[in-house]
Structure 1
Amino acid sequence: MIVDGFFIAGALVCALALILGVVATVIRDHPDDYALVAVAAVELFLVVYAVAAAVRQAGGQAVSGEPWEFWGYVITALLIPPIAFWWAVTDKTRWSNVVLAAAGITVFVMLYRMEQIWDGALPA
């Protein structure tokens, strides 16, 4: 797999969301504002990633794997942070922070797979 700037930036944003969600779970019994903002940052990153991928693909750089699979991952990943955010805003328990942390790690795994599909690498 080729590691590019988008993957590194996404990994850092997802790691931040995961860490803040775990810390908030340990120290608070309701959703933490920092964890909410971190998940919003994950969504913002995904929007930028999707636009950049569309521009790269429109510019002639083809997806090495199946395009429908890549865009399926992108669309699904774009849905995860808003659902986690909505959950945390409506459910004022410690578990909301766990959901926010889970959104960070889930998006990271999906981002890793998206990079594999884009570069044509076989799944490990």
Structure 2
Amino acid sequence: MDPFLLVGTLVCLLSAVLCIGAALLRQPPNDITILSVAAVELFLLAYAVGAVVRQVAGEPVLGEAWEFWGYLLTALVVPVGAFWWAILEKTRWSNFVLAAAGLTVFVMLFRMEQIWDGVAGL
């Protein structure tokens, strides 16, 4: 298993659990939930750097490269959008949006790994 996928899974799911927990406790977005989504974004930036290094070093994307980079660019936008939502709407429901960002990035990360390894989509 790719270490990036393992770390990304942990970061995304921990962020989602924290945000869902805060929402269930009827808390508005707070430093913990917003920083957990910032951690997802920081991970994605590290993932992007790692992907560029892997490609420059000669490791090819076995699937469609345009699809991989499209997923990565889209995944980079998701936490930013959720962050702005949480800043603009300070209700407990924003924590569900923050949680959705973590879960969405997790699914996209899994798909990016499939594309990198050349596994056909389901």
**Partner of 1:88 in structure 2?**
86
Displacement of 1:28: 2.7
**Using the alignment, how far apart are the partners of 1:64 and 1:33 within structure 2?**
39
Work out whether 1:58 is the aligned partner of 2:51: no
TM-score w.r.t. structure 1 length?
A: 0.95
Gaps of 5+ in 2: none
Amino acid at match of 1:115: E
Q: Give 3-state SS (helix, strand or coil) of 2:121's partner.
A: coil
% same residue: 59
Please provide the CA RMSD for this pair: 0.8
Match of 2:77 in 1: 79
The residue number in structure 1 matching 2:21 is 23
Q: What pairs with 1:1-124 in structure 2 (closer than 5 Å)?
A: 3-124=1-122
Give the 3-state SS of the residue equivalent to 1:62 in structure 2.
coil
For the residues of structure 1 that align with 2:91 and 2:106, how far apart are their CA atoms? Answer: 24
Cα shift at 1:30: 1.2
Gaps of 5+ in 1: none
Runs of 4+ in 1 over 6 A off after TM superposition: none
